[in-house]
């Protein structure tokens, strides 16, 4: 990546630490198959025929993990590849591309972003030379133009200057208003744009061939959900998502895949607990400040990163439910 730079912890070394962890025999063989000129490939888990996922660390973005905290993956068709999310840095995106090239030489025809958050879109620039179509929710361009610069500034302190310097916001050029099908050559994937839930620009990808649903951050496992849209909208989306005819899901955070629709149970329980306690606090005339300490505390031991996101979720829910 940047061999000329001598830093105590180079991005390249950090990537190696982050990605070169044991992930099964196939991943080991994929690593060995990588071309010498490429970045170190991300460790992959083959979760279904032609579907590969790198499970991100359940953590906050940092220089040590190179922003690789979200699940990213790709689907290989008869003629082309579709990438689903590109990771939290260009370095991670490059490592994902190297992993793809260790599996197939087919062109990357589509790079799909499931939503606007940095850990899902900051790797986009690594794919520009492949000349794919960048695909996103119809509201994604507006969200990226409103928040992109803020995301770069806010994450610079976490990622460090080297990883941050090469990140550019790459907006989608193919927009999904409702539903769209993309053909990878004998393999059709279905894209669906959702009403406001995790964010106002959530997009899911269903691989019909294997019944694999890439849910983006509409599904969290292990990592406590973060509400950047609407708790009521997300609960509605959970009900609708349950009807999606899939066998497995790739959550935005958590394991590489999980059985479907059972993977929805944890976040549904969490949102119902938050909504219940926030509504009770509002009905009792409590202030937001007192609601912050009381909401859904029984959920704390069931999630990772609870302390980093839960109070923010209660705040978002309070602001939304106060006026219903």
CA dihedral 221, 226, 232, 238 (to 10 degrees): -20
Q: How far apart are CA 128 and CA 132, in angstroms?
A: 7
Nearer to Zn ion, 66 or 80 (CB): 66
Maximal C-alpha separation, the chain:
64
Find the part of the chain contacting Zn ion (CB under 5 A) among 93-101, 174-182, 210-218, 229-237. Answer: 210-218
Minimum separation from the CB atom of position 116 to Zn ion (A): 8
217 binds Zn ion (CB under 5 A): yes
- What are the respective helix, strand and coil percentages of the chain, to the nearest 5? 40, 20, 40
CA distance 217 to 204: 9
Residue written as tokens 């993956």?
A: 73
**By CB under 5 A, what part of segment 107-146 binds Zn ion?**
117
Taking a C-beta distance cutoff of 8 angstroms, is the pair 177, 188 a contact? no
Please identify, using beta-carbon distances, which residue of 132 and 216 lies nearer to Zn ion: 216
Smallest distance, Zn ion to C-beta of residue 136, A: 13
- Stretch touching Zn ion by CB under 5 A, among 1-9, 181-189, 212-220, 286-294: 212-220
Q: Toward Zn ion, which CB reaches closer, 1 or 263?
A: 263
Give the binding range for Zn ion (CB under 5 A) out of 56-64, 149-157, 216-224, 316-324: 216-224
Inter-residue contact 227 to 317 (CB < 8 Å): yes
Least CB distance to Zn ion at residue 59 (A)? 14
CA 176 to chain centre: 18
Helix axes 11-19, 90-101, angle to 10 degrees: 60
User: What Rg do the C-alpha atoms of the chain give, in angstroms?
Assistant: 19
Query: What binding mask, one character per residue, do residues 46-85 give for Zn ion by CB under 5 A, x or -?
Result: ----------------------------------------
Closest approach, Cβ 106 to Zn ion, in A, equals: 28
Nearer to Zn ion, 16 or 305 (CB): 305
Segment near Zn ion (CB under 5 A); pick from 214-222, 256-264, 285-293, 300-308: 214-222
CB of 310 to Zn ion, least distance (A): 15
CB of 284 to Zn ion, least distance (A): 32
Can you spell out the DSSP letters for 162-204? HHHHT------SEEESSEEEEESSS-EEEEEE-SSSSSSS-EE
Is residue 253 close enough to count as binding Zn ion by CB under 5 A? no
Q: How far apart, in whole angstroms, are the C-alpha atoms of residue 318 and residue 274?
A: 9
Closest CB to Zn ion among residues 164, 226 = 226
SS3 157: helix
CB of residue 201 to Zn ion, shortest distance in Å: 10
Number of Cβ within 10 Å of residue 186's Cβ equals 9
Nearer to Zn ion by Cβ, of 117 and 192: the residue is 117
Closest to Zn ion by CB, 92 vs 217, is 217
Q: How far is the CB of 288 from Zn ion (least distance, A)?
A: 23
H or E stretch covering 80: none
| Number of residues in contact with Zn ion under rule CB under 5 A | 2
Kindly state whether residue 187 participates in binding Zn ion, applying the rule CB under 5 A. no
Give Cβ neighbours of residue 165 (< 8 Å, ≥ 6 apart). none
Binding site for Zn ion (CB under 5 A): 117, 217
């Amino acid at each position: 990546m940047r061999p000329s730079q001598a830093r105590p912890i180079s991005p390249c070394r950090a990537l190696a630490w982050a990605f070169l962890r044991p992930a099964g025999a196939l991943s080991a063989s994929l690593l060995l198959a990588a071309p010498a000129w490429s970045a170190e490939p991300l460790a992959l888990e083959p979760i279904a025929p032609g579907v590969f996922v790198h499970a991100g660390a359940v953590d906050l973005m940092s220089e040590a993990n190179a922003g690789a905290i979200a699940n990213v993956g790709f689907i290989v068709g008869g003629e082309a590849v579709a990438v689903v999310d590109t990771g939290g840095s260009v370095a991670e995106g490059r490592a994902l591309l190297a992993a793809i090239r260790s599996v197939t030489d087919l062109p990357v025809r589509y790079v799909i972003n499931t939503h606007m958050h940095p850990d899902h879109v900051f790797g986009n620039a690594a794919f520009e030379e492949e000349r794919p179509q960048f695909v996103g929710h119809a509201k994604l361009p507006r969200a990226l133009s409103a928040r992109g610069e803020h995301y770069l500034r806010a994450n610079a302190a976490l990622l460090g200057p080297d990883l941050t310097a090469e990140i550019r916001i790459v907006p989608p050029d193919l927009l999904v208003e409702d539903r769209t099908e993309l053909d990878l050559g004998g393999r059709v994937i279905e894209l669906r744009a959702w009403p406001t839930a995790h964010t106002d620009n959530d997009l899911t990808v269903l691989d019909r061939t294997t019944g694999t649903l890439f849910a983006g951050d509409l599904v969290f496992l292990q990592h406590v959900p973060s509400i950047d849209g609407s708790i009521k909208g997300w609960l509605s989306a959970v009900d609708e998502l349950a009807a999606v005819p899939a066998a497995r899901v790739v959550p935005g955070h958590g394991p590489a895949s999980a059985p479907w629709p059972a993977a929805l149970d944890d976040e549904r329980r969490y949102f119902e607990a938050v909504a219940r306690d926030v509504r009770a606090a509002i009905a009792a005339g409590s202030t937001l400040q007192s609601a912050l300490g009381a909401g859904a505390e029984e959920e704390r031991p069931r999630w990772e990163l609870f302390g980093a996101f839960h109070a923010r979720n209660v705040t978002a829910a309070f602001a939304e439910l106060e006026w219903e």
